[in-house]
Amino acid sequence: MQAIDFKEPNRQVDIKELQAVAAQIRENILRMLGEAKSGHPGGSLSCTDILVAIYFGRLRHDPKNPKWPDRDRLLLSKGHAAPALYSVLSKCGYIPEAELMTLRKMGSRLQGHPDPNKVPGVEIPGGPEGIGLSEGVGMALASRLDQKPIRIYVVTGDGELDEGEVWEAAMAAVKFKLDNIVAIVDRNGLQQEGTTMQIMPTDSVAAKFRAFNWNVLEVDGHNIQELLAALDKAALQKGVPTVIVAQTKKGKGVDYMEGVVKYHGNVPSGDMLENAIKQVRASAGGV
């Protein structure tokens, strides 16, 4: 794909190129997990398009200077989707692609949950579920105090919304009128032990955030064009935070994984793994 100036906030991108990137990211995720023989394929595959849209389309960042003070921040609150984040960071130029195959191995800096002290481009550890939005609120407040035009993007899972801390942060974001924070909910409807409706009913995520006075946008979480349009709308919103509820499929791109609970943390191997890789490769032209 063509070189991208990641520091340019209003950069133009080719949707087909980003769809091809997403397919490559999904293949990397599967290969990494197959090599590690452990990890979380379902949620990594469901948030791939979200991460690609943000990192390649709108996030202001600098792979050559990961700690650039004026960078935007992407917080992966659903930390078990680390394989997706590592693969995107590699594609952007933060870490070597060959290093991806060290995922979860002894001595590797690519742990099961991302470590900001070891991996360039990682902003938070994303381990305890529910902490990302709180940390994002703190960063959004800090950027305001510093008078810097920094935007904070928090990618959270819908199962993670079971955590009360999420809703405390949601109230705080409204209280302080943080229009520089955007939460993106990976709404795949599944979590470790079952569906989100079975575990703790979240039948209308959008309605819940509206009740907390957030600006709410709903999109197809596998449509990169829709995601980019929503991110642009969020940037124009003044005085209130925005949440993008992205409808996704857990295990997206692999027919036997899509919508199947066990692939939250079950890694395919052998012929099933190769079959999954063939399927995601075939999606390079669009999802």
pLDDT at residue number 103: 97
Identify the pLDDT of residue 194.
67
**Angle in degrees, CA 274, 275, 276, rounded to 5:** 90
- Domains of the chain are 15-260+271-285 (3.40.50.970)
Residue with structure tokens 């935070």?
241
Q: What is the DSSP string of 157-205?
A: ESGGGGSHHHHHHHHHHHHTT-TTEEEEEEE-SEETTEEHHHHS--TTH
- Per-10-residue mean pLDDT for the chain, 287 residues long? 84 94 98 96 95 98 97 96 98 97 97 96 86 97 96 94 94 98 91 74 89 98 97 97 97 93 89 96 70
The pLDDT of residue 285 is 57
**DSSP 3-state helix, strand, coil percentages of the chain (rounded to 5)?**
45, 10, 40
Predicted pLDDT at 197: 76
Strand partners for 74 = 153
Q: Residue 223, Cβ neighbours under 10 Å: how many?
A: 19
DSSP designation for 56:
I
- Predicted model pTM: 0.95
CA nearest neighbour of 82 among 113, 48, 103: 113
Q: Residue 174 has which token pair?
A: 């409204």
End-to-end CA distance of the chain: 18
